[in-house]
Amino acid sequence: MTPPPDKPDERVRAERVRTERVRAERALCGLVNGLAQRIGDHLRQHAAGLGLTAAQAGALRELDGPLTMRELAGRMSCEPSNATFVVDRLERQGLVERRPHPTDRRARQLVLTPAGTGLRERLLALLAADSPLAGLGPEQRLALQELLEQALARP
């Protein structure tokens, strides 16, 4: 930790810098939260149009190949028990099935059925058509992705 500046002018400058950092952090957090809210609203709107809950749509979006329940829960940022509840409903709708894991006999893999694959493709097309990120060009999206990955990689 840096010792406090000795001169009053230095202390005033240091306090201004600290205040500006706090303001900038708050503004950036507000923007990230606002974007997350818009993305969530966008997902809920299209999910409802397809007869799905937001959680079901989120699970379908993440099921880009066979996944275990734990892997899906990690992608959905929820507990495995919550993902199980969502997957149970998707399974009853004939959109997902559980299959034995090829290398771990204790685990099961979640796999989309043909109906689930078709619904997922429709969902992804709807989500991409008017995405909250649609105003960004490919380079801007990549830059945003890289910055967010850096921020999330910090412990």
Q: Residue 3 — very low, low, confident or very high, per pLDDT cuts 50/70/90?
A: low
Residue 4 has pLDDT above 80, yes or no: no
Q: What is the pLDDT of residues 67-97, one digit of tens each?
A: 999 999 999 999 999 999 999 999 999 999 9
| Helix (H) / strand (E) containing 96 | strand 96-100
Please give the mean pLDDT across all residues of the chain: 92
Residue 8's pLDDT is what? 73
Cα separation, 140 vs 1, in Å, equals 36
pTM listed for this prediction:
0.80
